[in-house]
Amino acid sequence: AAGTIVKIFNTNHAFCLETEKGAEIVVHMGIDTVALNGQGFKRLVEEGAEVTAGQPVLELDLDFLNANARSMISPVVCSNSDDFSALVIKADGHVVAGQTPLYEIKSK
């Protein structure tokens, strides 16, 4: 989704984005990856940056992460979903950055 990067964690394993419609999206790369203390992650934008859908925010060393992270399953969560009427799942299976919508957030 397009929006403003409002937070990137110091370890670069997760970030928060606010969309133009006010949705607060949390993207967490992998499971228990905070324990890697930033290894395997490189920040490509800074907090406050305006980003477009599909624009890379982080660069991942997948060889390192696949060998050292518990899992690379990466939750993408709307943290203020109660402010919207519905979240409609759009993705199923393999997704492509900037091409595959994960879900649609419907305003109240």
What are the residue numbers of the active site? 28
List the 14-18 sheet strands across, edge first. Answer: 50-51, 3-8, 14-18, 24-28, 76-78
The continuous run of DSSP H or E covering 83 comes out as none
User: What does the block give as tokens for 78?
Assistant: 């709307």
